[in-house]
Structure 1
């Protein structure tokens, strides 16, 4: 197999690039991913809390490929031969005792390659973190959290008759956007769960949520006003927030931070990310964090025709600052590479202007119906703080803009209406 442009990774940036480029260059683009469907990563905390059904939210890569003019190859990237300009895609097997091979290992040739494989959890050597925590890196992680929570709620409800202290202790490690949004979403969902068959449990009393953060405040990269507003909203929702604390060990039923041991039946790790380890084995230059070292045009240094974008790319902007691992950066990089490849198609000179990250602000969700604390946009050094209903609309619009990029305006509108109607006739949380 050979494709003019191969994109590895169907996350926010990689999928948007594949869809936009496929519509402009039908048949010239191939998307490679180890999963069959796509979900917008910032919404994984909703999947974990059960307020979003991944089976309704997920978009099939094969469907998107058909509709947008690119081809889809199912499987993980295993190796790169930059001399022969080929990548190796791993075999797909059926997960039973026979381990039957459904798709064999394959090689795909390319003229240009874009690596957009995102990030994975960085445990910083904390004892027990990898074994006893769940990280919301993918849909299967969020689903594992949700099903474990349902099991724990069921057990706590059964034990309540004999033990008034029975409940569920959830510890979230990391006070960034993922940790804060999960804590808020989980508190809102816990009240709903209590009305759907867990009537013996009182949400704020029996579903105990603790958020641990090593920095002096949560949402440390954002302005202090946003951090303070978020802290107030979490306190209103009976979430225990502990800052200036370092987790030193994690066991099956507890989290140790300094001299304090927190009981924990369910632990989420949201304290840091790193590039996938396999990138170091590709023969391409990487930085200390393991991310691919790219120039200001998103090309891997020393390897013409090989690009990287999103969380797995270490890009330094014209201002000398590293581009942050955020969804809006991946979106902007997709548009930049789209222009790069269209220029190549039309035999135009390469872009003279380097990629420059533009920070349009940050939004933090605090549930399906409640307010959202946010920092919205910056213009010539100015910034605005928004919250409540207006901020909630802005947050929802980000998801819709992503859908518009991969589905188009009409289908996005129809899908949004359909999901609104479905929510009117189904439980507020997924119960199975």
Structure 2
């Protein structure tokens, strides 16, 4: 009987792993590879801030799970993971209802021999009162689309008020000075600068206020302090007001209450501060960290069950006694590569190798204005880059993800199509 390998979560790591195992084992009938996700399409998560700002039309960047599975030799099931039965070795998928509440698919049990959990992460609100009720999150395409729809309404409202001769301003507050917060702030400034091209001639950067609030002493703690300072200067030059070392203690309707100083009033508020694994991991009877991450050993197996693996943002893997693998796209990519090689080694009768995280550095895009980052070459040596070189390096991260899914030739074809779309499509998505 073929081994049943079930992967739950079609994010960066999960889809790459399903694709690689499908090519290696699924096509040849050596194993049954099944990918489960609640959505029908995949979008690389680091692109969500571009979708939210209108810089990217998500339909041009999505990967259809069923199409990918048909090409690459794995099976795709749509569903939301509800329960893991370690004794029976089954996962339970919740029932699926249509928009009218009618049941389309009933609850299903999917058996596995090897289960790989790649359920990603969500933004951590740290228990701050009012965050869930009053702030936007950018954890999924649905949330990014909801933010974008509201943003377009605000663009129209303020532009019309200015056209009518009234005083008006669009204010937006972002909590979290990590990569998502910084990149979103820059993309929003760029989006507003394009509005006049598409008929909204009254709303410009002078009527658009972006505030970025960070609880820590500096932005982008993953980057060297010199680059963090450089980003701070670039954002302020773009007109973004940056508030440091001042945590948000409460959120009310259109207001952020800070630990120090007056509350911040904003038309729209985005919470992008910190990450944790989804709460559902607490119900699986696996050993977790406080942030809901599943603790794994050096082979990415759960310390509670050797037939269950965890990878990407939902896994807690030690680098050493003090450090853990950070929740980044590069971590998910490296874990997917490690699991693929180890499973392949086992099928070839060889022993698996332990996972070793290699920090390739961090890159942050400031929209079309600039990019910064550091490329790690060793523990003691790193190379800092800015400007055009950093923008090329940042773009290459997404291309490498596409290469893992489609191969080199298709990746180059997709790159060509993207260039053509950039030439013929509007530079800003306004619908």
TM-score normalised per structure 1: 0.96
Counterpart of 2:65 (choices 61, 64, 70) is 61
158-167 or 391-400: which moved more?
158-167
Change (3 A) 1:104 1:3: farther
Where 1:123 maps in the other structure, the secondary structure is coil
Is the CA contact (8 Å cut-off) linking 2:54 and 2:428 kept in structure 1? Answer: yes
Mapped to 1, the partners of 2:69 and 2:20 lie a distance apart of 11
Give the conservation status (yes or no) of the 8 Å contact 2:342–2:351: no
The 5 A counterparts of 1:163-202 are 164-202=166-204
**Matched residue, 2:17:** 17
Partners of 1:59 and 1:120 lie apart in 2 by: 21
Cα distance in 1, alignment partners of residues 253 and 322 from structure 2: 43
Match of 2:402 in 1: 403
Q: CA deviation at 1:77?
A: 0.5
CA contact (8 A) 2:212 2:241 kept: yes
1:132 corresponds to which residue?
Answer: 134
Q: Quote the Cα distance in structure 1 between the aligned partners of 2:227 and 2:357.
A: 21
The residue number in structure 1 matching 2:92 is 88
Residue in 2 that maps onto 1:289: 291
1:211 is matched with: 212
**1:260 and 1:121 mapped to 2: Cα distance?**
25
Q: Between 161-170 and 280-289, report the one with greater CA deviation.
A: 161-170
RMSD: 1.4
The 2-side partners of 1:86 and 1:239 are apart by 50
Give, in whole Å, the separation in 2 of the partners of 1:269 and 1:182: 11
Q: Secondary structure at the match of 1:372?
A: strand
SS in 2 for 1:65: helix
Runs of 4+ in structure 1 deviating by more than 6 angstroms, as ranges, are none
Tell me, in whole angstroms, the C-alpha distance in 1 between the residues paired with 2:337 and 2:215.
35
TM-score (norm 2): 0.96
8 A Cα contact 1:167 1:206, kept in partner: yes
How far did 1:218 drift?
Answer: 0.5
Match of 2:271 in 1: 269
Cα deviation, 1:191-234, whole Å, max 9, x if unaligned, reads 1124322211122x111100000111111222101101111110
Residues 1:163 and 1:174: Cα distance change in structure 2 (over 3 Å): farther
SS in 1 for 2:241: strand
Q: In the alignment, which residue of structure 2 is the partner of 1:72?
A: 76
Give the Cα separation in 2 of the matches to 1:110 and 1:161: 61
Q: Distance in 2 between matches of 1:195 and 1:187?
A: 15
Contact 1:317 1:355 in 2 (8 A): no
Give deviations 1:82-117, integer Å, cap 9, x for gaps.
111000111221112xx1222222111011000000
Partner in structure 2 of residue 122 of structure 1:
124
Matched, 1:32 2:36: yes
Distance in 2 (alpha carbons) for counterparts of 1:276 and 1:301 = 19
- The 5-angstrom pairing of residues 410-421 of structure 1 reads 410-421=409-420
Query: Hey, what's the Cα distance between the residues in 2 that align with 1:132 and 1:163?
Result: 30
* Inter-partner Cα distance in structure 2 for 1:23 and 1:388: 38
Question: Are residues 1:157 and 2:162 paired?
Answer: no
**Mapped pair 1:365 → 2:372:** no
CA distance in 2, matches of 1:25, 1:266: 48
SS of alignment partner, residue 170 of structure 1: strand
What SS is found at the alignment partner of 2:242?
A: strand
SS of corresponding position for 1:304: strand
Cα distance between partner residues in 2 of 1:319 and 1:421: 49
Q: Distance in 2 between matches of 1:121 and 1:130?
A: 10
SS in 2 for 1:23: helix
Runs (5+) with no aligned partner, structure 1: none
1: CA distance, partners of 2:281 / 2:243:
35
Distance 1:410 1:124 in 2: 44
Structure 2 gaps, min length 5: none
Q: What is the correspondence of 1:378-393 to structure 2 with a 5 Å cutoff? A: 378-393=377-392
- Rounded to whole Å, the distance in 2 between the matches of 1:346 and 1:337 is 14
1:161 Cα deviation after fit: 4.4
**Segment of structure 1 superposing worse, 217-226 or 78-87:** 217-226
The answer on whether the counterparts of 1:275 and 1:291 sit within 8 Å (CA) in structure 2 is yes
In structure 1, the residue matched to 2:113 is 111
Q: Contact 1:153–1:167 at 8 Å: present in 2 too? A: no
For residues 162 and 247 of structure 1, the distance between their equivalents in structure 2, rounded to whole angstroms, comes to 36
Per-residue deviation, 1:122: 1.1
Q: CA contact under 8 A between 1:120 and 1:274: conserved in structure 2?
A: yes
Distance 1:399 1:91 in 2: 34
